Chains A and B, each alone.
Chain A
Amino acid sequence: NAGVTQTPKFQVLKTGQSMTLQCAQDMNHEYMSWYRQDPGMGLRLIHYSVGAGITDQGEVPNGYNVSRSTTEDFPLRLLSAAPSQTSVYFCASRATGGLNYGYTFGSGTRLTVV
């Protein structure tokens, strides 16, 4: 049971480069989300999806795009990386109606933009 899998675990980008952070879950969860974790700020929601084909913005969406073509995958795209996007990124999922069981988180992607 893999749960939520994020790749890569570490990435260094140059300012202006683009890349995609991958997130996949094998639990048939409808809800998926992307968060960024910064010191002293907790986790902040970037984008989320309530099902395949449906996405919406969270608290800090600027500079990021998402798509949800399948239930399993929810990639996060950085269009033109900036140093302010240096952070640890977490993907999370949960089942519909499974709020009381909380979200399952991936192990994170540590991104550095130089």
Chain B
Amino acid sequence: AQRVTQPEKLLSVFKGAPVELKCNYSYSGSPELFWYVQYSRQRLQLLLRHISRESIKGFTADLNKGETSFHLKKPFAQEEDSAMYYCVVSGSARQLTFGSGTQLTVLP
């Protein structure tokens, strides 16, 4: 069964500091991985997809198959980055399995 682990429920950093949100997954096969973000009381939005190797809002995420990790990084955090971040795996039925989420707070 697929599983996604986000070890940090809460993460606080100061504005301008680097931030890394950790994600580890278990999945038998070739996973599709995503990061979704939910700003306060808004709907979930797709932030990143591993297959596109893109940078969105300064965030990047590299899939490390050896460590089964997909950590989300940003070199300089901004206050508007404060949100709930979910690491997500797409399974064999093409449905999504969510991690428990990390609430990021960027302090002024």
Binding site for B on A (CB under 8 A): 31, 33, 35, 40-45, 48, 50, 56, 58, 90, 92, 99-103, 105-108
**Do residues B34 and A42 form an inter-chain contact, with CB atoms below 8 A?**
no
Contacts of B6 in A (CB 8 A): 42
* With A105-B44, A105-B45, A106-B43 as contacts: A41 and B95 at CB distance below 8 Å: no
**B101 → chain A, closest Cβ, in Å?**
5
Q: Which of A42, A43, A100 contacts B49 (CB 8 A)?
A: A100
Residue B51 CB within 8 A of the other chain = yes
- Candidates B36, B42, B95; contact of A107 at CB < 8 Å: B42
* Complex Cα gap A41–B3 (Å): 12
B90 on interface, CB distance cutoff 8 Å: yes
Q: How far is the CA of A40 from the CA of B84 in the complex (A)?
A: 11
CB pairs A–B below 8 angstroms (5 shown): A33-B95, A48-B93, A92-B96, A100-B51, A105-B45
Please determine whether A43 and B86 come into contact, CB atoms closer than 8 angstroms. Answer: yes
Measuring CB to CB, which residues of chain B are less than 8 angstroms from any residue of chain A? 4, 6, 9, 32, 34, 36, 42-46, 49, 51-52, 86, 90, 93-101
A92–B90 Cα distance when bound, in Å, is 14
Instruction: Tell me the interface secondary structure of chain A in the complex.
Output: strand
Query: What is the bound-complex CA distance between A112 and B46, given in angstroms?
Result: 27
Is A58 within 8 A of B99, CB to CB? Answer: no
Query: Across the interface, do B98 and A43 meet the contact criterion of CB distance under 8 Å?
Result: yes
Inter-subunit contact A42/B95 (CB<8 Å)? no
